Structure 1
Amino acid sequence: MSKKRTEATAEAFTLKAMAKNVVVVGPPKAGAFQEKAVKPTVFRGRCDSGDIPVALTHVTKGNSIRWKVDFEMLDYHFYLPLFFEGLTETTFPYDKFACEGIHAMLDHCGHKIIPVIPQLIPHIRNALNTRNDRVMCNTLQVLQHMVMSADRVGEALVPYFRQILRIFNLFRDKKE
């Protein structure tokens, strides 16, 4: 007849952990890579109410956006931060509007970006802090495009590196 041994569990660094036949349980996960919940954005509300001057067009190659106004007429101090806030969106069509809208604005009027950069930084930081892989990749692509769209944009981003690069240090060594 064999006796069943029941092993007790205990947290590390306690007196109970020193006893015989005790399995020490490791610490809980910190959750540094866990995706964060995203609050509803103003961008989604503006899209739903029709305040954003873009429309979804269906073409044979897929969906794209069509602008209702000329890029020179856009108020970049209002619309560019609004579209950057939409980077945190993961549902269709809001994610499409945000990404394609930002890329189109950067392509057509890159010289209007530099004065707006201080307004963009909180939205970039929020998008990176979601820890959602797709949102982070979209944000990185937007940052690359932003730096390449006009002269001196990279220099204008230097004072904000401490806020932007902090999240990249977490994911630098992640291999998944």
Structure 2
Amino acid sequence: MSAPSSYRPPTEQDRQLVDGVWRERKHGIEPPKQETDMTKAMLAQGRMSPQKVGVDLKMQKAMLLKQMALLDDRCAATHKILGKKTRDRRASKLLAQAHAHLPRSSLSKQGQRVIEKPVALPKRPPVRRTTPSITPNPDVLIHKLKRTAKTVNAQKIQNRTRPHKGPCSGVFRKQKVEETVFPTRYERGELPCAIEHGACHNTLSWACPLLQLDYEHYLPIFLDGIRCTDARYKFVARQGFDEMIEEAKGFPDCVLPVVPALIKPIRLALATHDPDIVVAGLNALQKVVLSNYGVGEAMVPFYRQLLQPMNLFYTKRQNIGDQIFYGQRKGTDLGTAVLETLELLEKTGGPNAFVNIKSYVPVYESCMQ
């Protein structure tokens, strides 16, 4: 619909007039007849477009809806606050009524809660002991609520006069012995072997055949090196000794002359009280005895130096109940290694071996009977 030729744009006064009319209609108030007639006159004269009037009315309607939603939210929040204040007021009144029967205490500060006085327990007469005791004692009065000072002092005196537990002897503690010179000899290149590193395990590479070596010189050196704790020197010493003893089987002339020189390294290894070194020394002694015929009998005069540490560790075993101790399978159990060594010395030492072993290890029983 096209606007009439006499159309002019509405002024600000016209818009305010229309807004007032529709605001009053929204709240249920009928506008005055004069304003209604004026609006109709403006539309009839073409001073206001019907389309413009419709757009303005829609905008006013949307604004009114938003304002009404905001007012509803504010009213809900106000009712919530008022309800909370009312509940708090009622709760304080109920609490005051509940504590009204309690006596007021002299509280210096206001707002503190009333604390009830502790109720005194009734006094009970002492109860005499009726159960018989082992030794005749006078009647003792047992107070259930508190103990007398006399009983407390007697207990303190008894605790002070109790004997203190003495210090441990440390018989199984690791001992300090003279250091071995095996690492120094290996670093100087005095040994005819070297470590050959492999993918799975390491081996020893010898400079010459083992039977061509001087056993009286090299065998005590390798046996003295079993006390090393460094992994490299420990492997060289123990592996070198095992290979030399294994190669000397069937050649008693290589081992029998060296027996007196092997006693001191074995005795020092047993004197360390280190389980790993002690087991290594016992294994070395077993291999020496089994290397050739007659070596066990040659060891009998030296039982005095070797069997005293064995007597100490004869009963040294792991007690873990019904669990499995894999040290027996691996050969690292100290008591088992001592027992096996003593039985081997008795079997290879001849007729006088058991008598000498029994004199130094009294709890040992013969395995030959």
Verify same fold: TM over 0.5.
Answer: yes
Determine which structure has the larger strand proportion and give its number.
1
Q: Deviations over 1:11-66 (max 9, x none)?
A: xxxxxxxx632231122111110112344312111011111111101112211211
Counting only pairs closer than 5 Å after superposition, residues 85-164 of structure 1 correspond to structure 2 as 85-110=224-249, 111=252, 112-164=254-306
Structure-2-length-normalised TM-score:
0.42
- Name the residue aligned to 1:21: 159
Instruction: Give unpaired runs (5+ residues) of structure 2.
Output: 1-145, 319-369
The one of the two structures with greater contact order (alpha-carbon pairs below 8 A, sep at least 6) is: 1
Deviates more, 1:46-55 or 1:105-114: 105-114
Conservation of the 8 A alpha-carbon contact between 1:38 and 1:88: no
Give 3-state SS (helix, strand or coil) of 2:219's partner: helix
2:158 is paired with a residue of what secondary structure?
Answer: coil
Q: Distance in 2 between matches of 1:94 and 1:148?
A: 25
Deviations for 1:149-172, whole angstroms, at most 9, x for unmatched residues?
111111111111111111011111
Between 1:61-70 and 1:158-167, the stretch displaced more is 61-70
User: Aligned-pair RMSD on alpha carbons?
Assistant: 2.2
Give yes or no for the alignment of 1:63 onto 2:206. Answer: no
Alignment-derived partner of residue 16 in structure 1: none
Q: Contact 2:177/2:271 (CA < 8 Å) preserved in 1?
A: no
Range with bigger deviation, 123-132 or 103-112: 103-112
Q: Is the 8 A contact 1:35 1:132 kept in 2?
A: yes
More displaced 10-residue stretch of structure 1: 120-129 or 85-94: 85-94
Contact 1:43–1:83 (CA under 8 A) maintained in structure 2: yes
1:91 positional shift: 1.0
Mapped partners of 2:183, 2:206: distance in 1: 17
Identity %: 34
Does the CA-based 8 Å contact 2:177-2:268 persist in structure 1?
A: no
Query: 2:302 corresponds to which letter in structure 1?
Result: Y
Structure with higher Rg: it is: 2
Q: Aligned AA for 1:100?
A: Q
